Structure formats: C-alpha cells, structure tokens
Amino acid sequence: MAAQHVLQLTGRPPENVVAVVRDDDGWQVAVEVLELHRIPETTDIMAIYEVALDTNGDLVRCERGQRYHRGQVEEDL
C-alpha cells in the first residue's frame, strides 16, 4: 500500500520497500524511488520516501527523506 501511495503522489514508480515498522498507530514504511535517471546508472539520484499508514493502510503522512546516488554505499560508523 505504501508503494502505491508513493506512486500516486509522485508519479514515480517505487523501486524497493527498504523498511517496514509496525507501531501502535499503524505502519512506518520507507520506499526507495528513482528521482533522476543519469548515465551511468550508478549516478542516478535516488530518494527514500518515509510513509506512515494507519491500521487500515490509509495514508497518514508521506515525506521525502534522504537523497543519494544509486552507487553510494553507507559507511560503517
């Protein structure tokens, strides 16, 4: 449901659901979306959309969070 909401709001097809957390109010879901296609693809601009759904799967909140290059790797802390 979260991925469908992101598609409807942004017009961009989600690539992955990268996190799902259930809480007392419903679900918190992180959805990865291609924001800008570049060549080579490792330089594409990606974004994580943070979506909150109620217990029925209805959209409560959708925010664009982190943006990064597709080829970017998280560094260990």
Summarize pLDDT for 24-76 with one digit per residue, the tens: 999 999 999 999 999 998 899 999 999 999 999 999 999 999 999 997 876 64
| Domain range summary for the chain, segments of one domain joined by + | 2-69
**CB within 8 Å of 9: residues ≥ 6 apart:** 62
Are β-strands 26-36 and 45-54 bridged in parallel, bridged antiparallel, or unpaired? antiparallel
pLDDT at 75: 62
Whole-model pTM: value is: 0.87
Question: Is the alpha carbon torsion for 40, 43, 45, 49 positive or negative?
Answer: positive
What does the pLDDT read at residue 73? 74
Q: Give the pLDDT of residue 77.
A: 39
